[in-house]
Amino acid sequence: MKQIVKYLLFVIFLAAAAFAAANFNLLPPFGADPSKGAVRSKKPQGVSISKKPSSILTGLSGKVALDYSSTFNLTAAASDDLIMVWQLPDTTSPGEIDGGEGFQALSLRFLPGTSILAVGGMKSDYSGSVRFFDGATGNQTLEIDEPEPIQFLDPHPGGKYLLITGETYIKVIDVKDGNSVAILQKNNPAGRAYYYGNGQYLLQSDSLSLFDLNKRTLSEPLDTAAPLLFRKGQDGRTFAWLSAEGVSLITPAESGKKFYPLNTKGVTAFDIESNGKWGLFLPEAQKMVAIELSTGKVIKTVELTSPASDVTISSDGASAYLQYSSGAIGVYDIGYSNRLKSLRSGFKKLVGKIKSKREPVVKPEPN
């Protein structure tokens, strides 16, 4: 019993330390402490990213569509007709959703502030479909047929509309009934459509052109040159794109675009954290590096055991999802909030075990 009490006290101490680090920034991930004035650090202090994944999500194969709901702590991923949902740190019993026979998922997104998961893809006859599921229960709530495969989805910040990208067209649909609100032609077959400016504008990733949905007019593009790679953050408000010269970035905190010179040769995937201080890059298949944008210096290098195809920073900034070529997903912790989650989960399980051991044995009733 004494050993159990000691262990409980140790777990509580670790949880308190992790909570303090996560909420009071005792260990800032980069740069100087802003409370001590504008002191510039000569070298980056490093961002807290785990060297190894805290979780490996398996069960899928090939190219995977991925999203995360910070409101419900749900991680969803899909390939072919299989959709899997996890509530980390528990990875033992993921929820599985059958997308439907002959359906191939190409994109999925949680609607903001809900557990509703929109999944876009194609059917066996090569027509398109958008299907809505409750990620918490797996129940399907709506299905919308489209004439061609749906390559990408982007929900409106308010959650009322969904922007869908087909092979030749872009459409805004009402998520309540699936009715079309607006239809536009794509600039390029490879382009994707995103909401921009709190949902007022439609952005095409291949040309960075902007279309004002209220005025139904074209606006000035974000950049004159087409990007090599484009990324909209899961927070819905951070936009970044790569050119041969570096990284261009628009964040919620900044009024305009910023450009950071950077050697982008060989980079196959990237994502930028919502404050715009640093980003994660895949310069080669088995290496992930964190780079401080203002200096261009590598502040963290993570060697990978398997080739990776994509990297995504979660909307709450607590995780980096690394997609391996095999279809598996590695979850790397950023900062300390995930460690606190794991401590809470472990503590809850431990208390449950102790309670079950201390419960009195029910004696059978005498005949």
The string of DSSP letters for 282-334 reads EEETTEEEEEETTTTEEEEEEE-SS-EEEEEE-TTSSEEEEEETTS-EEEEEB
- pLDDT at position 14, please? 46
Q: What is the CA radius of gyration of the chain?
A: 23
Q: What is the distance between the alpha carbons of residues 138 and 105, in angstroms, rounded to a whole number?
A: 15
How close are the terminal C-alpha atoms of the chain, in Å? 36
Q: Which CATH code, of 3.30.70.3460, 3.30.70.890, 1.10.10.10, 2.130.10.10, is assigned to 29-34+44-60+228-335?
A: 2.130.10.10
Cα distances (Å, whole numbers) of residue 53 to 206, 290, 305, 320, 330: 32, 15, 11, 9, 5
Return the DSSP state at 40.
Answer: P
Return the CATH number of the domain spanning residue range 70-221: 2.130.10.10
Tokens 């819905």, residue? 236
Q: What is the distance between the alpha carbons of residues 232 and 290, in angstroms, rounded to a whole number?
A: 18
User: β-pairing, 169-174 with 180-185?
Assistant: antiparallel
Q: What is the distance between the alpha carbons of residues 349 and 343, in angstroms, rounded to a whole number?
A: 10
- Identify whether the C-beta of residue 16 lies closer than 8 Å to the C-beta of residue 278: no
Element (H, E) at 221: none
User: β-pairing, 201-204 with 65-69?
Assistant: unpaired
Return the DSSP state at 268.
Answer: -
To 5 degrees, how large is the angle CA 161–CA 165–CA 169?
Answer: 110
Reference 126, options 167, 162, 164, 154; nearest CA is 167
Tokens 């006859």, residue? 125
Q: Which residues pair with 180 in a beta bridge?
A: 173
Where in the chain are the domains?
Answer: 1-27+339-358, 29-34+44-60+228-335, 70-221
- pLDDT at position 149, please? 97
Spell out the per-residue pLDDT of the chain, length 367, in tens: 455 444 444 444 444 444 444 333 322 332 233 333 333 434 445 678 999 999 999 999 988 999 999 999 999 999 989 999 999 988 887 899 999 999 999 999 999 999 999 999 999 999 999 999 999 999 999 999 999 999 999 999 999 999 999 999 999 999 999 999 999 999 898 999 999 988 999 999 999 999 999 999 999 999 999 999 999 999 999 999 999 999 999 998 877 899 999 999 999 999 999 999 999 999 988 999 999 999 999 999 999 989 999 999 999 999 999 999 899 999 999 988 666 666 655 555 555 555 555 555 445 555 4
Distance of CA 110 to the CA centre of its chain: 10
Reference 142, options 172, 112, 169, 117; nearest CA is 117
Q: What is the distance between the alpha carbons of residues 131 and 141, in angstroms, rounded to a whole number?
A: 8
Task: List CB contacts of 142: < 8 A, sequence separation 6 or more.
Answer: 131, 132, 175, 177, 178
- pLDDT at position 356, please? 57
Confirm whether 29-34+44-60+228-335 and 70-221 share one CATH topology: yes
Return the DSSP state at 49.
Answer: B
